[in-house]
Amino acid sequence: MYRVRLWSVRHSRQLEWIYGTFNPLLVKLLRGTVKLFGTRLDKPITKVEAVAKGFFFDCKMCGDCALSKTGMSCPMNCPKTIRNGPCGGVRENGHCEVKPEMRCVWVAAWDGASRMKGGDAIKSVNFAVDNRGKGTSSWLKMAREELGHD
């Protein structure tokens, strides 16, 4: 939801804390789950991620989550899905050139990042997403990466 998404950017610092605290636990839990169940629980886990992140960030399930590096503003909500924004077309009021009613996702991202402890991560260069990951879970990806298999 758009308004919740804006709230998330305003509270990027708190969300960063929550992420930093609970993400290792979540990954640990998922690692155990993956070990025990293989891919059998992928569908429900993916669904939970989609609902939770969908509510807070209008997550598009790109499968390559960058929220912690983009001020808690999901770059896939940019009409051009720019991963290193903003583009040059931001309106004077900070809104999107394609969707004038929407605040530019990347204006929000830099704003959110400025509140975060690790906000400087936004300055690192991101490469384009792997389109094969569309619709898959970033959480499971992290768990599997730590297990050393994809």
Stretch that binds another protein, among 12-20, 38-46, 53-61, 100-108 (CB under 8 A): 100-108
Helices (H), 38-120: 42-57, 105-115
Q: Does 80 bind another protein (CB under 8 A)?
A: yes
Measured CA to CA, the distance from residue 80 to residue 110 in angstroms comes to 17
Taking residues 102 to 121 in sequence order and writing x for each that binds another protein by CB under 8 A, - otherwise, the string is --x-xx--xx----------
Half-sphere exposure (Cβ direction) of 139: Cα atoms closer than 13 Å: 26
Count of positions (residues) in the chain = 150
Q: Does 88 bind another protein (CB under 8 A)?
A: yes
Measured CA to CA, the distance from residue 13 to residue 119 in angstroms comes to 9
Q: Does 150 bind another protein (CB under 8 A)?
A: no
Nearer to another protein, 57 or 110 (CB): 110
Residues that bind another protein in the complex, under the rule CB under 8 A: 79-94, 97-98, 104, 106-107, 110-111, 122-123, 125-128, 131
